[in-house]
Amino acid sequence: MKSNPKAYKQPKRGRGIYGGGKHGAGNKGSGQRQNFMRLGYETGNNPFYLRVPKEPYYKGHHLKREYPPISLLQLQTMIDTGRVDPSKPLDLVALCNSKLFLLSPLEKQFGFQLTDEGLDNFKGKVNIEVQHASEQVIAAIERNGGVITTAFYDPVSLLAMRDPMKFFISGIPIPKRQTPPEDAIEYYTDPRNRGYLADPDLVALERFKLAQKYGYELPDLKNDPELAMLLERKDPRQIFYGLNPGWVVNLKDKKIFEPEDEKLLEYYKT
Amino acid sequence: MASVIARSIIMKQHSGAHRLSFATSIKIKSCYSSYAASPKEKSPENYTRYHEVSSENWKFVERLRPHLLVPSYPTDRNYASDWIPPSDTPPNLPYFVKRTKNFMVPVYLNFEEVRNARKITIIRHIEGDIWALEQAIKSHLENVTKKPVVSRVHEVAMHIKFRGDYVNEVKKWLMNAGF
């Protein structure tokens, strides 16, 4: 319930009421003159909002690259349930094609990182390519006779790799993979991270060193029956195995086309 | 070009003058983010010549094709993860727990809506005597944890909830039971 509008009139503050006094505003100063200080001002003290140092935890978060995790346990479960085929090289396309992980490059997701959960029970022998991996994970893969590479993909390539069939239907040529940004070059050229831009001889040396460090015997790849699969690698400018940048795939007629223009060939040259 | 065609079609459909003025203001949306739809696109003769690549490379395209359905799990190997396939014949028990479409045991960790800190283990897709299953799992969990376990049975929705995070323990129990 509420009284009608204009039914109650606020009494006027007369100059003479309450004995003609100060009406609660006090005597002299900012109270009487109603000129209040700005917010946070402590009349000459070092104010509270400047006394505490700033801690910018999320500074530059909109520029940082995100790598959603996949654990070794999840990878082993995918192998056990037949969601990925370990007899072929596993890359971002194979992981996305399992339809168990969704990658959104438009939200600054630049691929997957392999994490160490389920490291002790990992038995898969795989040739895997991820975007980030720790030293323990690399050791767990190589102990079983597998091969791991860390590789960078730009967002345009990732949009094509996330759903290749949808990309081929669009009729756009396969994009050329771009080089990593300045702050990622060090990671992807380091043989300790098994970077795709590292020297293969140094990678072989680091494989041996890591086996010494963690105390396992490195399986000999030369006598391996699956050597061809384990050595399968992409070119630094390539995003799909066996398909070059610049090619157009026609899914309906099952044909692949290559451009003949010299400038285009020069651009797509690896 | 597309908007011009659309305009002429609409003009044919409506002969009234008052409708014409409305129809001419309609524009069909163009997608300029794709080069093929942009006004800069030229006729095919202006583009590069091309040739077909050897059909041996088609196997690499086939490799990129995803499964249309969830593939069945391989039966000819030792399972290194903590996942094991369901037994061929259902176990001789008064209850049954169905696997999901991905061949996983339907046990999940939920967080209570009111207080996010409260963890609830939920078992779904339970058929048959749900009370017998509740008693069996409850006594197993109490043996393992040496603590009283609080549970709630929902017969209509065919699920059981346990207060606390017992997901791995319940999963292991159900898979060992043959579900």
pLDDT 10s digits, B75-124: 987 899 989 999 999 999 999 999 999 999 999 999 877 766 789 999 99
CB contacts < 8 A (A, B): 96
**Chain B neighbours among A 64-83 (CB < 8 Å)?**
73, 76-77, 79-83
Residues of A in contact with B78 (CB under 8 A): 123
CATH 3.30.780.10 boundaries in chain B: 95-177
Using pLDDT thresholds of 50, 70 and 90, give the confidence band for residue B1: very low
Using pLDDT thresholds of 50, 70 and 90, give the confidence band for residue B4: very low
CA A270 distance to own-chain centroid: 25
Strands B126-128, B119-123: pairing is: unpaired
The confidence score (pLDDT) of residue B22 equals 47
The confidence score (pLDDT) of residue B3 equals 43
| Buried-exposed string A197-213: b where 16+ CB fall within 10 A, e elsewhere | bbeeeebeebbeebbee
The confidence score (pLDDT) of residue A5 equals 86
Q: How far are the Cα atoms of A128, B106, B124 from residue B155, in angstroms, in the given order?
A: 45, 16, 11
> What rounded mean pLDDT belongs to chain B?
83
The confidence score (pLDDT) of residue B161 equals 96
Q: Which long-range contacts (CB under 8 A, 24 or more apart) does A138-141 make?
A: A138/A193, A138/A194, A138/A210, A139/A210, A139/A211, A139/A213, A139/A214, A139/A216, A140/A72, A140/A116
The confidence score (pLDDT) of residue B28 equals 58
Residues 6 or more apart in contact with residue B87 via CB below 8 angstroms: B178, B179
**In which residue are the tokens 């600054």 written?**
A108
Instruction: Tell me how close the Cα of B66 comes to any Cα of chain A, in angstroms.
Output: 5
Residue B67 per-residue DSSP state: P
Say if the Cβ atoms of B81 and A241 lie within 8 Å. Answer: no
> How many angstroms separate the CA atoms of B83 and B80, rounded?
8
Query: Which chain B residue shows the shortest CA-CA distance from A75?
Result: B81
Strands B95-97, B50-52: pairing is: unpaired
> How many angstroms separate the CA atoms of A136 and A142, rounded?
10
First to last CA, chain B: 62
The confidence score (pLDDT) of residue A29 equals 80
Instruction: Tell me how close the Cα of B101 comes to any Cα of chain A, in angstroms.
Output: 12
- Class of domain B95-177 as given by CATH: alpha beta
Residues of chain A with pLDDT under 50: none
**In which residue are the tokens 């409850």 written?**
B138
Three-state SS string over chain A comes to: CCCCCCCCCCCCCCCCHHHHCCCCCCCCHHHHHCCCCCCCCCCCCCCHHHHCCCCCCCCCCCCCCECCEEEHHHHHHHHHCCCCCCCCCECHHHHHHCCCCCCCHHHCECCCEEECCCCCCCCCCCEEEECEECHHHHHHHHHCCCEEEECCCCHHHHHHHHCHHHHHHCCCCCCCCCCCCHHHHHHHCCHHHCECCCCHHHHHHHHHHHHHHHCCCCCCCCCCCCHHHHCCCCCCCCCECCECCCCEEECCCCEEEEECCHHHHHHHCC
Using pLDDT thresholds of 50, 70 and 90, give the confidence band for residue B10: very low
A135-143 and A200-214 are packed helices; what angle lies between their axes, rounded to 10 degrees?
Answer: 90
Say if the Cβ atoms of A73 and B81 lie within 8 Å. Answer: yes
CB of B50 within 8 Å of a chain A CB? The answer is yes
The confidence score (pLDDT) of residue B30 equals 63
Say if the Cβ atoms of B80 and A124 lie within 8 Å. Answer: yes
Say if the Cβ atoms of B83 and A248 lie within 8 Å. Answer: no
The confidence score (pLDDT) of residue B2 equals 44
* Between residues B118 and B148, the one the model is more confident about: B148
- Please report, as a single letter, which amino acid is at residue A230: L
Query: Which chain A residue shows the shortest CA-CA distance from B49?
Result: A260
- Please report, as a single letter, which amino acid is at residue A130: V
Count of alpha carbons within 13 angstroms of residue B153, beta-carbon side: 14
Is B100 within 8 Å of B114 (Cβ atoms)? Answer: no
The confidence score (pLDDT) of residue A1 equals 80
Q: What angle do CA B96, B101, B104 make, to 5 degrees?
A: 65
Instruction: Tell me how close the Cα of B64 comes to any Cα of chain A, in angstroms.
Output: 7
Count of alpha carbons within 13 angstroms of residue B72, beta-carbon side: 4
CB of B55 within 8 Å of a chain A CB? The answer is yes
- Reduced to 3 states, what is the DSSP secondary structure of residue B37? helix
Using pLDDT thresholds of 50, 70 and 90, give the confidence band for residue B42: confident
CB of B69 within 8 Å of a chain A CB? The answer is no
> How many angstroms separate the CA atoms of B70 and B64, rounded?
16
Task: Using CB atoms within 10 Å of the CB of residue B105, give its burial: 0 to 12 exposed, 13 to 18 middle, 19+ buried.
Answer: buried
Instruction: Tell me how close the Cα of B102 comes to any Cα of chain A, in angstroms.
Output: 8
Strands B107-111, A127-130: pairing is: unpaired
B29 has pLDDT over 70 = no
